[in-house]
Amino acid sequence: MSLNNHSVCEKCNIVRNQDIHEDVSKVSFITDEDLREVYRLSTSGFFWLLGIILLYYGLNEMFVSLFFIASYLTSGYKVIISALKKILTKDIFNENFLLLVASMGAFYLGQFPEGSGVMLFFCIGEFLQETALKKSRRTIESLLSLKSDTVNLKIQGKIVEAKPESVDVGDIIVIRPGEKIPLDGVVVKGRSILDVSMLTGESAPREVDVGDKVLSGMINVSSLLEIKVMKRLEESTVTKILNLIQEAIERKSRNEKFITRFAKVYTPVIIFMALLVAVVPPLFLGESFRIWFYRSLTLLIIACPCALVLSIPLGYFAGIGKAAREGILVKGSNFLDLLVRAKIFVFDKTGTLTSGILGIGRVVSKSNYDEREVLRIAAIAERYSSHPIAKTIREAYDDKIDLDIREYVEFPGFGVKMKLKDVEVMVGSDKLLHREKIAHDVCEIPGSSIVHVVVNDKHIGFIELENKVKNEAVYLIDELKRFGVKKTIMLTGDDEEVARRVAKILGIDEFYARLLPQEKVEVLEDIKKRYNEWIVAYVGDGINDAPVIARADVGIAMGAMGSDAAIEVADVVVMDDNLSRISRAIQISRKTKSVVIQNIVFSILVKIIFLSLGVIGEASMWEALIADTGVALLTILNSLRILR
């Protein structure tokens, strides 16, 4: 329980983590291509604003229109080229063609600010979403370089540095205190304590001895270990985790946007109607071709979906902005939709539903000692230890400790023994009491860590340490059920009894315990197959959660304490680790969806009314423009309500 080298190891861990963060920070998330896009869109925005200003001051409209055309071509040339290419491949009715029709219709009417503005703001929205996706992919690539570059390989009694990929099964590697285990293997020499929290989610350190299996990614805390390699690098646990993350991202495609689906139906219908209006009356009724051609153009202008093109993205941007104000990062508009539709929420336990830090559950006293005295004696014995459990005990006993301790002895993996004046004290695990042949009636309590306290060979009590459930976790589970979530499930690498206790406290429907990262992915895949008609969300924080977060329909990461891997692959990031933010994210998503649907219905209804008027000649192009611009303005104002 108490370890001399632990403080040194903690220092090593800090250095190691700093190195990792430095390596990640060196990865450039803004590429030269991104900068060129920023310059291009900024230039387009400059031309557009300059045109607005010159138009306001009454300059010649023909001259001012040149600035709007420059803005249009600067921001939209990729959209125009894409639309033309798809026309050549007979894929006409797509999002780009719809935008092209809308902007060209505005230009035809001389509404250059609207035509160029639609293109500019659409391209800005596209760039922001693509940037978020590319950033996530680049971070995953950078994580691959964070694996151990070298290992300490033991050859004929000598230790040499070698590349992990050059180590074969059966080779012996040496792991010093504070180092990360680079390859899966079995301990052949030494006894130590491992920090496994980043790999399995377990908060309590794990003791290992000769013959115990260890996995790559675990951190050696206390003593030198010699490990016989059982798997090559490409088969090791850390490599599998990183591969799972990449595979999950590749398998998870973006949802097709509403505007794209809408365009495939709406655009051909409107174009066909415009052709009928232009051709049928002159050919079959002997009407003036000029009049009906004008009406067909009016029809196209009325049908230009400027309100939809502007208000739908703006509605989602407002929802994303509102969420960001409240400490929730949503990495795309489609994830707002998916949050509303999610019917199954799957949670990691440690660090997500629980604090991830062991705290004092209860103190049990025996004989004539009270609970405060048992805690005091334990705190005195742990005075010189830097082990996490020792630190927890000292913090729980908040009084000053200033006593003369003699004959202090530590037993790694067991506990401590010392003398206080003429009193002999032992504090440690059940194994220490059995080794010292101390009679006691409680050995272990499933799901908890027990620290026994002995005075003069007499068991005077024990301290039970447990993971504390977050207060907001109870609130969130209740809120999810109120929102209509059908099932809540918990996945954890912890003991089954711990999982059962947490699930019971929170009212979680199902739980799966003692899972490795790859097993979590397998369980999630099984859940998705069993409930294939429902959207599945996963909430986690550690690197062991990253593959599952990436594979879920909606991956949610806890940002304050979460690993870089989990945060970068997540679709939604809660920046302050407050679980109640997830409930708020769902509320914002619902509001956003409601506003977007309002905009869609209102826009289409107004279009239908004015299309009817246009066909019978009761709406001119000017009236069509007013209707189109007015609807766009009203839907934009409606979208901005989300920010309130």
Question: Tell me, what's the pLDDT at 588?
Answer: 92
Residue count of the chain = 644
In a domain, 17, yes or no: no
Which H or E element spans position 621?
helix 621-640
* 320 and 439 inside one domain: no
In a domain, 168, yes or no: yes
Domain end position, chosen among 95, 120, 148: 148
Catalytic residues: 348
CATH number at residue 197: 2.70.150.10
Q: Which candidate, 390, 409, 412, places its Cα nearest to that of 3?
A: 412
* 137 and 153 inside one domain: no
Domain end position, chosen among 124, 148, 172: 148
* 553 and 586 inside one domain: yes
Query: Exposure string (b/e) for 88-106, b if CB count within 10 Å is 16 or more?
Result: eeeeebbbbbbbbbbbbbb
The count of other CB atoms within 10 Å of the CB of residue 423 is 10
In a domain, 200, yes or no: yes
Angle at 532 between CA 529 and CA 534, to 5 degrees: 135
* 83 and 213 inside one domain: no
Question: Tell me, what's the pLDDT at 129?
Answer: 54
CATH number at residue 401: 3.40.1110.10
Question: Tell me, what's the pLDDT at 258?
Answer: 62
In a domain, 488, yes or no: yes
CATH number at residue 252: 3.40.50.1000
Domain end position, chosen among 102, 132, 148: 148
Could you give the C-alpha distances from 131 to 125, 416, 625, in angstroms and in order? Answer: 10, 54, 34
Place of tokens 């495939």: 264
Question: Tell me, what's the pLDDT at 497?
Answer: 79
* 326 and 387 inside one domain: no
The ranges of the chain with pLDDT < 70 are 1-31, 93-95, 98, 102, 105-106, 109, 125, 128-148, 197-204, 240-264, 294, 297-298, 300-311, 356-357, 386, 401-404, 445-448, 542-543, 559-567, 619-629
Q: How many domains does the chain have?
A: 4
Q: Which amino acid is at 138?
A: R
Bridge-based pairing of strands 192-195 and 206-208 is antiparallel
* 418 and 554 inside one domain: no
- Contact by Cβ (8 Å): 619, 613: yes
* 154 and 96 inside one domain: no
* 134 and 112 inside one domain: yes
In a domain, 261, yes or no: yes
* 381 and 250 inside one domain: no
In a domain, 2, yes or no: no
The boundaries of the domain holding residue 270 are 238-353+470-644
Q: Which candidate, 356, 345, 358, 348, places its Cα nearest to that of 544?
A: 348
pLDDT tens-digit map of 583-620: 999 999 999 989 888 888 888 888 778 777 777 777 66
Question: Tell me, what's the pLDDT at 280?
Answer: 86
Question: Tell me, what's the pLDDT at 203?
Answer: 56
Question: Tell me, what's the pLDDT at 624?
Answer: 61
Angle at 466 between CA 460 and CA 470, to 5 degrees: 145
* 219 and 318 inside one domain: no
Q: d(Cα 269, Cα 551) in Å, to the nearest integer?
A: 38
In a domain, 26, yes or no: no
* 112 and 197 inside one domain: no
In a domain, 10, yes or no: no
* 170 and 258 inside one domain: no
Q: Could you tell me the two tokens for 90?
A: 């007979």
